[in-house]
């Protein structure tokens, strides 16, 4: 199935979720992440600001800050993403695509980030990610450090057996849904702690 067909189908499904369902499932996903070894061991992590019924991340931010972790959010700069340290969610403002992003702050090299928490339209069993098709994360992930762990957050219906992918795509290590934590079966993945 073509990326565009998968994207359209799953976005339509997600768009029809009630806010109560999004809140409940997001809380369950975030609790899975907070209880995981990769979250507990990370010193610097990158979160995202959810749009279009993506998994919320506010509880992750609160848990990270309560344990003195550095938290970064992406900001669009031209055709790239840069990651900015955020101490308070009040530092976020609507950016170019209407997504909350840091309005100022210290740029953190993506290579310094231990745990990158990514949204997606879909994730497959090998850890490949399907986004909105603009390639911002794809370009940014080419610069990750050797210690960086990539995890995807989605609702269970967004986890699929296989997605089309490119040779340069960087797979996730773990996928978190309301149903559990799913290590990916991609042999190219580095550490797969859960």
Is 157 labelled a binding residue? no
**The pLDDT of residue 186 is above 60:** yes
| 193 occurs within a structural domain | no
pTM: 0.91
Residue-number span of the structural domain to which 121 is assigned: 3-183
Is 5 labelled a binding residue? yes
Is 69 labelled a binding residue? no
Is 103 labelled a binding residue? no
* Distances in whole angstroms, Cα of residue 58 to Cα of each of 27, 77, 90: 9, 23, 12
Domain count of the fold of the chain? 1
Here the CATH number for the domain that contains residue 108 is 3.40.50.10420
Work out the number of other CB atoms within 10 angstroms of the CB of residue 124: 24
Q: What is the rounded average pLDDT for all residues in the chain?
A: 91
Predicted confidence (pLDDT) per residue in 133-170, tens digit: 777 888 888 888 778 999 999 999 999 999 888 877 78
Is 54 labelled a binding residue? yes
| 194 occurs within a structural domain | no
Is 132 labelled a binding residue? yes
β partners of residue 124: 160
**The pLDDT of residue 7 is above 80:** yes
């Amino acid at each position: 199935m073509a990326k565009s067909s998968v994207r359209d189908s799953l976005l339509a499904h997600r768009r029809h979720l009630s806010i109560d369902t999004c809140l409940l499932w997001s809380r369950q996903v975030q609790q899975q992440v907070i209880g995981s070894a990769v979250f507990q061991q990370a010193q610097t992590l990158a979160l995202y600001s959810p749009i279009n019924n993506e998994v919320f991340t506010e509880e992750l931010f609160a848990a990270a800050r309560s344990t003195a972790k550095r938290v970064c959010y992406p900001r669009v700069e031209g055709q790239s993403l840069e990651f900015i340290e955020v101490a308070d969610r009040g530092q976020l403002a609507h950016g170019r695509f209407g997504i909350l992003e840091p309005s100022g702050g210290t740029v953190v090299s993506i290579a310094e980030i231990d745990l990158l928490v990514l949204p997606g339209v879909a994730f497959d069993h090998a850890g490949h990610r399907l986004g909105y098709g603009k390639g911002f994360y794809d370009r940014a992930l080419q610069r990750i450090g050797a210690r960086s762990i990539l995890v995807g957050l989605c609702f269970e219906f967004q986890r699929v057996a296989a997605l089309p992918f490119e040779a340069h795509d960087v797979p996730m290590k773990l996928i978190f849904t309301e149903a559990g934590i799913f290590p990916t079966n991609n042999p190219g993945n580095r550490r797969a702690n859960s």
